[in-house]
Structure 1
Amino acid sequence: MAAQLDDAAGSAVPRTGGGGAPPTRRGPGSRRAGPQGPRPSARRTPRPPARRTRPPARLAPYLLLLPALLTTAVFLGWPMVRNLLLSFQNLNMKELIQHLTDWRGTGNYQEILGSQQFWRVTLRTLVFTAANVVLIMVLGVLIGLLLARLGKKMRLTLSLALVLAWAMPVIAATTVFQWLFDSRYGVVNWLLDKAGWHAMAHYDWVGTQLSTFSVITVLIVWQSLPFVALNLYAATTTIPRELYEAARMDGAGTWQVFTSVTFPFLRPFFLATTFLEIIWVFKAFPQIFAINEGGPDRLTETLPIYAFTEGVGNLHFGMGVAISLLTIAVLLAVTAHYLRLTLRQERHEENEL
Structure 2
Amino acid sequence: MTVQTERPSSDPADLRKADDGKAGGPPPPAASRAGAFAPYLLLLPALAATVLLLGWPLLKDVLLSFQNLNMGQLIQHVTEWNGVDNYKETLTSEDFWRVTLRSILFTAVNVVLIMVLGTLVGLLLARLGKRMRVTLLLGLVLAWAMPIVAATTVYQWLFAQRFGVVNWVLDKLGWHSMADYSWTSSQMSTFFVVIVLIVWMSIPFVAINLYAATTTIPNELYEAASLDGAGAWRSFTTVTMPFLRPFLYATTFLEIIWVFKAFVQVLAFNGGGPDRLTEILPVYAYVEGMGNQHYGMGAAIAVLTILVLLGLTAYYLRIVLKQEEDAL
Normalising by structure 1, report the TM-score.
Answer: 0.83
In the alignment, what sits opposite 2:284? 306
1:84 to 62, 80, 84: 62
| Matched AA of 1:66 | L
CA displacement, residues 207-239 of structure 1 (integer Å, 9 cap, x when unaligned): 111100000000000000100001111110110
Deviation at 1:79, TM superposition (A): 1.6
Matched residues in 2 for 1:88 and 1:160: separation?
Answer: 49
In the alignment, what sits opposite 2:5? none
| Matched AA of 2:313 | T
Matched residues in 2 for 1:238 and 1:60: separation?
Answer: 32
Which has the bigger relative contact order, CA under 8 A and spacing at least 6?
2
In the alignment, what sits opposite 1:19? none
Deviation at 1:348, TM superposition (A): 2.2
Instruction: Indicate whether 1:227 and 2:205 are aligned.
Output: yes
Matched residues in 2 for 1:116 and 1:84: separation?
Answer: 23
Deviation at 1:59, TM superposition (A): 4.5
Q: Find the residue that maps to 1:266 and give its secondary structure.
A: helix
Matched residues in 1 for 2:82 and 2:293: separation?
Answer: 16
In the alignment, what sits opposite 2:112? 134
In the alignment, what sits opposite 2:12? none
Q: Find the residue that maps to 2:289 and give its secondary structure.
A: helix
| Largest Rg, 1 or 2 | 1
CA displacement, residues 146-178 of structure 1 (integer Å, 9 cap, x when unaligned): 111111111111111111111111100000000
In the alignment, what sits opposite 1:53? 30
Q: Find the residue that maps to 1:217 and give its secondary structure.
A: helix
Q: Find the residue that maps to 1:203 and give its secondary structure.
A: coil
Q: Find the residue that maps to 1:276 and give its secondary structure.
A: helix
Matched residues in 2 for 1:156 and 1:251: separation?
Answer: 32
Matched residues in 2 for 1:349 and 1:51: separation?
Answer: 46
In the alignment, what sits opposite 1:29? none
CA displacement, residues 77-126 of structure 1 (integer Å, 9 cap, x when unaligned): 12211111111000001100111111100000000000010000000000
Relative to its length, the structure with more helix (as a share) is: 2
Deviation at 1:64, TM superposition (A): 2.8
Matched residues in 2 for 1:198 and 1:92: separation?
Answer: 49
In the alignment, what sits opposite 1:175? 153
CA displacement, residues 290-314 of structure 1 (integer Å, 9 cap, x when unaligned): 1111001111000000000000000
Deviation at 1:51, TM superposition (A): 5.0
In the alignment, what sits opposite 1:320? 298
Superposition RMSD in Å? 1.9
Which segments of 5 or more consecutive residues in structure 1 lack a partner in the other structure? 1-44
2:48 to 62, 67, 70: 70
Instruction: Indicate whether 1:193 and 2:171 are aligned.
Output: yes
Deviation at 1:243, TM superposition (A): 1.5
Matched residues in 2 for 1:189 and 1:249: separation?
Answer: 53
In the alignment, what sits opposite 2:238? 260
CA displacement, residues 237-256 of structure 1 (integer Å, 9 cap, x when unaligned): 11011212222333333322
Matched residues in 2 for 1:69 and 1:185: separation?
Answer: 50
Aligned length: 305
Which segments of 5 or more consecutive residues in structure 2 lack a partner in the other structure? 1-15, 21-26
1:143 to 121, 130, 134: 121
